[in-house]
Amino acid sequence: MAFRFNFAADDSDDDSTPNPQPAAAPQSLPEELQAPARHHTLQELMTRIPRNISYATISITPMVSIPRRQLYDVRMQLMDEDELNGDGPERDMVVGLGKEDIRTSLYEGGLKSWECSVDLARHLASLYGQAGPESKKVLELGCGTSLPSLFLFQATLSATQTSKPPFTHFTLADYNLEVLRLVTLPNILLSWAMLDHLSSSSGPWEPEGDLDVTESLTAAFLSDLSRRGIALDFVSGGWGVEMTELLKPASPYDLALGSETIYSPSTTPLFADVLLEALKGGEGSGLVAAKQIYFGVGGSVTDFVNLVRSKDSNVQIRVVMEEKEVGVGRSIVKISNTLARP
């Protein structure tokens, strides 16, 4: 059965309306039948970057703004590709942009910015403002539009103007490869273009507009990342053993992130396994932002905390942020092993 979150997405482009009836809990396919985990390089995804990106800017804090690709622009690209290519992943994504926010094991909602991703970006901004990050390798699971990683990417670009970068390696993972190429990478390019524009004294950055992705722009983007020592790579596919094995060469990560990733009790154990394995043997920590309970679906922060503790009795886990003055409470949970710094 199709699944839909029982709340409106926090996306100015989103024309969906809240579902008045609780949705049935999704029935996930067995792990071996889900999309296999695959690694993708920045150069690979850059070959399919759109030549024009329409964007709007979201305010994270009074000092932090993040440009992101407009959802209608993604729709237009997908419809154009659908007409050219017929059936295929593009058609699947067009289905995902219909009345359903999520279609289990087909499309997992990555084209929209969910409100807990904003919470996590704000939390990271507060941490960075207090002490400055010390992490070097970042993993975001279920990244979608990737607002938390985009904040850290911007912080790195700003820091490297005068010092060594606080973050040098970003791994962005989403169930759908099409999400990575349609929104994740375009959003990274937008953040780079915004800061490059501001640093060159070319006038104010327009909060809404279009970015022309010329050959010279993409060459400058890739050259600048190389000069700064910043690496980007991408992983598509379902959580599970395959993804864990794929991430091992880059483990342990210093920081692992996830937002709105524990809504389904059937996939949360797989998510927890990948997260814990990514941090295993290091001094890093994980931050998971979620609604305290997903009505009609079954996932909850309490169940996630208990699950993580059952998988590793030595893990340190605590709630570091709670938002209770809303219809459905939201939390951010920090997970670290015994080697982690306080």
* Residue labelled with tokens 């960075």: 128
Q: State the average pLDDT over residues 173-177.
A: 93
**pLDDT at residue 242 in the model:** 93
- Averaged pLDDT, 135-164: 87
Which conformational region is residue 159 in: left (phi greater than 0), alpha (psi within -120 to 50 degrees), or beta?
Answer: alpha
- Cβ density class 148-183: b for 16+ within 10 Å, e for less: bbbbbbbbbbebbeeeebbbbbbbbbbbbbbbbbbb
Question: Which of 45-54, 94-103, 300-309 has the lowest average pLDDT?
Answer: 94-103
Strand 208-212 relative to strand 52-61: parallel, antiparallel, unpaired? antiparallel
Give me the pLDDT at residue 296, please: 75
Q: How do strand 38-41 and strand 255-259 relate by DSSP bridges? A: unpaired
> pLDDT: is 103 or 269 the higher one?
269
CB 256 within 8 A of CB 141: yes
Distance CA 264, CA 64 (A): 31
Q: Residues 312-325: what's their mean pLDDT?
A: 90
The Cα 219–Cα 201 span in angstroms is 20
Higher pLDDT, 339 or 313: 313
Q: Return the higher-pLDDT residue of 199 and 43.
A: 43
Q: Of how many residues is the chain composed?
A: 342
| 37 neighbors 246 (Cβ within 8 angstroms) | yes
Q: How confident is the model at residue 92 (pLDDT cuts 50, 70, 90)?
A: low
- Residue 202 pLDDT > 70, yes or no? yes
pLDDT at 33: 52
Q: Residue 68's pLDDT is what?
A: 96
> Is 303's pLDDT higher than 90?
yes
Q: Does the pLDDT at position 65 exceed 50?
A: yes
Domains of the chain: residue spans and CATH: 36-337 (3.40.50.150)
More confident residue, 85 or 252: 252
Look at residue 42 and tell me whether its pLDDT is greater than 70: yes
What is the predicted pLDDT for the residue at 100?
A: 54
Q: How sure is the predictor about 313, in pLDDT bands with cuts at 50, 70 and 90?
A: confident
Question: How high does pLDDT run on average in the chain?
Answer: 81
Alpha helices in 173-300 (DSSP H): 177-179, 185-199, 215-228, 241-247, 268-279
Mean pLDDT of 212-217: 96
Residue 199's pLDDT is 84
* pLDDT over threshold 60, residue 149: yes
pLDDT of residue 47: 94
Mean per-residue pLDDT, 35-44: 94
pTM for this one?
A: 0.85
Q: Count the Cβ atoms, other than its own, within 10 Å of residue 43.
A: 9
Split at pLDDT 50, 70, 90, the class of 25 is very low
- Angle, in degrees to the nearest 10, between helices 301-311 and 268-279: 50
In this structure, what DSSP letter does residue 252 have?
S
**More confident site: 235 or 3:** 235
Note the pLDDT tens digit of each residue in 101-147: 555 555 555 577 788 999 999 999 998 765 455 668 999 999 999 99
Q: Is 63 left (phi over 0), alpha (psi -120 to 50) or beta?
A: alpha
- pLDDT score recorded for residue 261: 92
Residue 342 pLDDT exceeds 80: no
| Residue in this structure with the two tokens 């999309």, named with its chain if needed | 35
Q: What percent of the chain has pLDDT over 90?
A: 55
Phi, psi values for residue 127, rounded to 5°: -65, -40
For 19, the token pair is 């579902």
